[in-house]
Amino acid sequence: MSLKEKLLEGLERSLEARRAFVSGLSDGQRAETGTYETWCAKDEVAHMAYWQEQRAARLAALGRGEEPAAAPPHFEQANAECFERYCSKPWAEVEAFADLAHSQLVEAVSAMDDDRLAKPASGSEERPLWEDIIGTGYTHALMHISGYYTNQGQPLEAGRLWQEWGKLAEQLDDQPEWKGLVHYNVACGLALSGHGEQAIAELRQAFAARPGLVAWSKHDTDLQSLHGLREYRELYASEHWWRALDAGPQAEAMGDQFMRVLSWVREAVKAYTAAEWREGSVACERPAGLALHLAGSLHDYCALKPGEVLEGVDMGMDWEAAEPNTLPSQEELLSYLDWVEGALARFLAEADLESAEELFRWTGSTLLGRAAYMLRHTQHHLGEICQDLHQRGHAVPQWR
């Protein structure tokens, strides 16, 4: 199926969703009059149609070889004008407007080939046309329809619409960035409609495909209904980290950064072949030695009081003097790193980060300074490992 055919199928699904929505409305819901702050069903339909009409006009101009009119600079102003224009219109007129806008959008898309649909509208834009089309013609409509269903006590219908949307939208692009965004949007739709367990499953897939969404998601109000769920918290951190993340803003910030960096370290360790792992003419060129030094330093700096010996795993090895064949394997290093991470989480959770540094004065004047020093030291050696990976012809881990 071509890109254009997939887009047209999406527009058809959007039309079906709107018609099913309309057919399920009572006479009272159709006759209802809303306000700009609280839209009724008619306002929702007019709003969806208005933006589809705008998109269709831009696409039609492109099809004629003309520069499309710029999108309204102030979306809120455009939404207010749409509301004022249609809020007092009879239902039949609003529905006719919606049908016309849909037809115009289908006609404009049908006139384009896949190559044009894969390009941006102009040189000043980045997103390809097909993303704008599916966004305005299908995704945007579903946001309003599913939101209305949820507010009317029909969450199952809202959840079904988002899952159906995800199956179609995922087929539009094979890139992990797009697939991650699709799963993320489905998760938001499911969370808003009260489907917590399903939303978390979608988020898990979104983060795997597009790790950059993790930071954004923490502040996304669409996901607020999930915040109290243990499974939601586990998406962001193992259980031992939550004491640190809940300990205060400084510990939370440092913990968040350490979790990202250490996940990067793990990915870098796994990128080597077994033969390369201990290979290097000098100590600082051996990945196993650098990784051991990185993890062992974190271990040492996690002490909270003089003479404290942290119970658990301790490699206890001079990484520079050790014979290459005695350095830990990748599996042993990763196991050690798991234990070190637990010790680090405990340090951030229990330390008063504003208190004076007494044990490692070269790291700074406070325990927060020590934590920052630990992070900086870890990143320094991670950079060396990634440079070595690059020189050996391996892909380096993605930015976290």
Boundary-marking domain end, from 189, 221, 236: 236
d(CA 302, CA 315): 15
Predicted pLDDT of residue 72: 66
Give the C-alpha separation, 189 to 165, whole Å.
10
Residue 113 above 70 pLDDT? yes
Q: Are residues 214 and 320 in the same domain?
A: no
Q: How far is CA 88 from CA 32, 43, 94, 99, 100, in A?
A: 10, 10, 10, 18, 19
Indicate whether 46 belongs to any domain: yes
- Find the domain containing 198 and state its range: 174-236
Give the CATH number for residue 264. 1.20.120
The reply to whether 188 and 151 lie within a common domain is no
**169, two tokens:** 């939208």
Asked which of 218, 236, 254 is the last residue of a domain, the reply is: 236
Judged by DSSP in three states, 57 sits in: helix
Q: Note whether 233 and 262 are within 8 A (CB).
A: no
3-class DSSP assignment, residue 356: strand
Cα–Cα dist 88/94, whole Å? 10
Same structural domain, 293 and 231: no
Phi, psi of 366 (to 5 degrees): -130, 170
| Whether 259 and 182 share a structural domain | no
pLDDT level of residue 234 (50, 70, 90 thresholds): confident
Chain segment 117-174, per-residue pLDDT in tens:
999 877 667 889 999 999 999 999 999 999 999 999 999 999 999 999 999 999 999 9
Same domain, 319 and 281: yes
Same domain, 19 and 124: yes
Q: What is the mean pLDDT of the chain?
A: 92
Whole-number Å distance between alpha carbons of 156 and 159: 5
Task: Tell me if 44 is assigned to some domain.
Answer: yes
CATH of the domain at 32: 1.20.120.450
Q: Are 190 and 232 in contact (CB under 8 A)?
A: no
Confidence of residue 328 (pLDDT cuts 50, 70, 90): very high
Cβ-contact 1, 115 below 8 angstroms:
no
Q: What pLDDT does residue 270 have? A: 96
378 within 8 A of 294, measured Cβ to Cβ: yes
Q: Which residues contact 209 (CB under 8 A, 6 or more apart)?
A: 176, 177, 179, 180, 183
The amino acid that residue 68 corresponds to is P
Phi/psi region, residue 282 (left: phi>0; alpha: psi -120 to 50; beta: rest), is beta
Domain boundary among 198, 216, 236: 236
For 197-224, write each residue's pLDDT tens digit: 999 999 999 999 998 898 889 889 999 9
Residue 20 confidence (pLDDT): 96
